Structure 1
Amino acid sequence: MGRKLYIRFTVFAAVLLLASSFYYLPYYVSKPGMAQELEPIIEVENGFDEEGSFMLTTVRMGRANIYSYIIAQFSKYQEIYTLEEIRGEGETDEQYTARQMHLMAGSKTSAIEVAYKKAGIPVNYEYNGVYVFSVLPDMPAEEKLKPGDLIVEVDGQELTTSEEFIEYVGGKQAGTEIELSFKRNGKSKSAELILKPLPGEPERAGVGIFPVDDKEIIVKPPVNLKTDEIGGPSAGFMFSLEIYNQLIEEDLTKGYEIAGTGTISSDGTIGRIGGIEQKIVAADKAGADIFFAPNEDGAEGSNYEAAVRTAEDIETNMKVVPVNNFNDAVSYLESLKEEAS
């Protein structure tokens, strides 16, 4: 009898343990991810080879269950975030993922533009429509549109850029009905919306979306970036370095393992990202020699300051280098001595 009771208790405890691991708390947990070599996922047609490597760094982010939440509470380089800190108001997991994928697409476009222009190669764009980046609550679009929708026509007129969309809709009065033609997951849809005054701007009318351009960059030689499983904009800067290095004959890596992070704007500005401490840990584990960190023009509390503190704390030999823009990084690499073989 005692043995049967013990077996039942063990089975019950195992089932309870398994079930509780699938019960998610209203939090996200982030932890150090990986440092991934970029050459295998970025290919410029007939591009030049490199002796060292550029690496993007990642943070692993996921919904917290009770076990991951407790572990994160006692882990120095794991962070806990509320749902509101990660997702937009009313944003679902699916919409959050779609937003991260669009941010990644934008970062790739900016990285290509920066690299090709630096190499003296012209770039062109093909505009596909207006991407719905987010939807404002209590506005006409809330019940009709979702983040990730692609608006292709307004009142039967083809509008290819967000500027055209804003100009057309902004020229109408509140109470006016407009018809939007859009695509969702490749399927064509339409919706009628009655314009309302915009929050904080009662003199202007709108539908309540944050529109951005959905565009494809056209360059020669062509470049292919295989980033299906990577989201967000924080790899943009390192993308631009890898692309540029394949476009020019000089190898900027000079045999070094070079990691880093930061958004990239089309003018070459390197922007702040989240999780810099965890990315320093990931780069150190991968054996990086150099880590580029956004300097934010020397602002107090910059990514660079946090990166230096973490590097000192984990006692890494990796050199942390501050960068404000793409040219800063290129100049630093051009001045490097070749890695001793």
Structure 2
Amino acid sequence: MNSGSSKQIRKKILSGLLVICIIAFFIPTPYYLFQPGSVEELQSKVTVEDGEKTAAGHLYLTTVMSLKASNIYYLTYGLVAPHTDLRKVKEVRGDLTDEEYSKMLEHMMISSQQNALAAGLQAAGEDVEIIPAGIFVSSIHESSDAKGRMKVGDIIWQVDGTPVKKSDDFLHYLANKEIGDTVELTFTRDGIEQTEKIELISLKNGVNKAGVGIVPEDQVKLHASRNVEINAKDIGGPSAGLMFSLEIYNQATTGDLTKGYEIAGTGTIDMDGNVGQIGGIREKITAVHKAGIDIFFCPKDIHANDSNEKDVLDEAQKQGYSVTIVPVKTLQEAIDYLRDLPPKETT
């Protein structure tokens, strides 16, 4: 074989490899990458009307940076990068589309802020009126007649002309319906009223034997004794609930809950102040360590499948982090812990 032929073969091989590399760039992978995100101070994001902003220390929410592995190169990076967790798309968002997943995150953050407002102000001894405002569609079953006709994020407020303000109203109305019956749902989508006639399907695991085939969540409005503004910008999801409620409580009450400490945390919150499990706890404790935080609140493991407390303690021990980790099951437990702390010594 002469040198000219060898050059042509090498050129073809290189060209073929280049084409393969280009094609691989556009082939998506079914994974998300999760890495330590930001630790964000809350006093500048939360403002309680007539509240105090004189804390010597700070309260922080924590985030996880998520990135869709849109090609094999991102996936390869995720396999070798430190403090990076790979999770399948289905594990992260189930069967939701990108648009539906974004709506769910937005709804979860709004609900988280409402829960934090109610929990924080009620812990401070103030009254909060909780007003049902319809039913948020958080998921639609594949076999539902509503699939393709309704969307995640729709707000149902009427069934066959009957107002339904909360999920219990909705389930009660459908309780005596049969499989194959049709109901007319009135709902809003992006502020526009719409109606759809939906045939009921069999519910194998539901309270009722027949239903629409959606997962409903209560939509509420709050009337509080004073206004609370939360500027969360692009932060999605419910995991900042505990820390929002602590910041609201700290501003709404006299004294300084922080006592000079830098305090971060994570955990969902409900309106009664109960703390719930979240995702990405290992990534969050790494972010907290890098930020030099003193105290980190995490959800306490209560049920058999809970793992936040175990995971965060395991990660901190393996990595040698010196952050004080405090598992809590309620907002009040976090408040009591901080109230019992001596003021931080200054040097």
Tell me the TM-score normalised to structure 1 length: 0.90
Q: Distance in 2 between matches of 1:128 and 1:270?
A: 24
Letter in 1 for 2:312: A
Structure 2 residue matching 1:215: 3-state secondary structure: strand
Equivalent position of 2:44 in the other structure? 40
Aligned to 2:148: 143
SS in 1 for 2:272: coil
Q: CA RMSD in A?
A: 2.5
CA distance in 2, matches of 1:322, 1:155: 47
What are the superposed Cα offsets for residues 166-194 of structure 1, whole Å, 9 maximum, x if unpaired? 11122222222211111112222111112
Query: For 1:191, which of 182, 190, 196 is the aligned residue?
Result: 196
Closer, same or farther: CA 252–299 of 1 in aligned 2, 3 Å: farther
Tell me how far apart the structure 2 counterparts of residues 55 and 88 of structure 1 sit (CA, whole Å). 29
2:286 counterpart of 1:281: yes
State the match for 1:251 in structure 2.
Answer: 256
Using the TM superposition, name which of 20-29 and 183-192 deviates more.
20-29
- Is residue 105 of structure 2 the alignment partner of residue 100 of structure 1? yes
Look up the match of 1:327. Answer: 332
Q: Is 1:211 equivalent to 2:211 in the alignment?
A: no
2:101 partner amino acid = Y
Which of 25, 31, 34 aligns to 2:35? It is 31
For the Cα contact (< 8 Å) 2:171–2:208, is it kept in 1? no
- Aligned: 1:123 with 2:133: no
The answer to whether 1:67 aligns with 2:55 is no
For the residues of structure 2 that align with 1:18 and 1:38, how far apart are their CA atoms?
44
Aligned equivalent of 2:57, options 38, 52, 55: 52
SS in 1 for 2:273: coil
SS in 1 for 2:225: coil
Sequence identity percentage: 38
Is 1:80 the equivalent of 2:89?
Answer: no
* Structure 2 match to 1:261: 266
CA distance in 2, matches of 1:298, 1:151: 32
Judge conservation of contact 2:140–2:146 (CA < 8 Å) in 1: yes
CA distance in 1: counterparts of 2:129 and 2:27, whole angstroms? 48
Deviation (angstroms), 1:59: 0.6
Q: Deviations over 1:236-294 (max 9, x none)?
A: 11111111001011111011110111111222221111111100011111121111121
Greater Rg by CA: 2
Deviation at 1:199, TM superposition (A): 2.7
Separation of aligned partners in 2, 1:29 and 1:114: 33
Aligned twin of 1:234: 239
- 1:18 shift after superposition: 7.5
**Gap change, CA 1:168 and 1:259, over 3 Å in 2:** same
Go from structure 1 to structure 2 and tell me whether the alpha carbon gap of 1:201 and 1:302 turns closer, same or farther (over 3 Å shift).
closer
Task: Give the aligned partner of residue 167 of structure 1.
Answer: 172
Question: How far is 1:226 from its partner?
Answer: 1.5
Q: CA deviation at 1:97?
A: 1.2
Whether the 8 Å CA contact 2:301–2:310 is kept in 1: the answer is no
Distance 1:269 1:340 in 2: 31
Task: Please give the alpha-carbon distance, in whole angstroms, between the structure 2 residues aligned to 1:155 and 1:265.
Answer: 31
Report what 2:3 is aligned to: none
How far off its partner does 1:301 sit?
6.7
- Residue 181 (1) aligns with residue 186 (2): yes
Question: Within the alignment, does 1:318 sit opposite 2:323 as a pair?
Answer: yes
Distance of 2:312 and 2:294 partners within structure 1: 14
* Cα distance change of structure 1 residues 311 and 205 upon mapping to structure 2, 3 Å threshold: same
- Aligned residue in 1 for 2:227: 222
Distance of 2:62 and 2:24 partners within structure 1: 31
Larger displacement relative to structure 2 (200-209 or 267-276): 200-209
1:202 deviation in Å?
A: 10
TM-score by structure 2 length?
0.89
Pairwise CA distance, 1:325 = 1.4
- Secondary structure, counterpart of 2:146 in structure 1: helix
Q: For this pair of structures, how many residues does the alignment match?
A: 334
Q: What letter corresponds to residue 74 of structure 2 in structure 1?
A: S
Measured against aligned partners, the alpha-carbon deviations of 1:116-137 in whole angstroms (never above 9, x if no partner) come to: 1111100012332211111111
Cα deviation for residue 107 of structure 1 reads 1.5
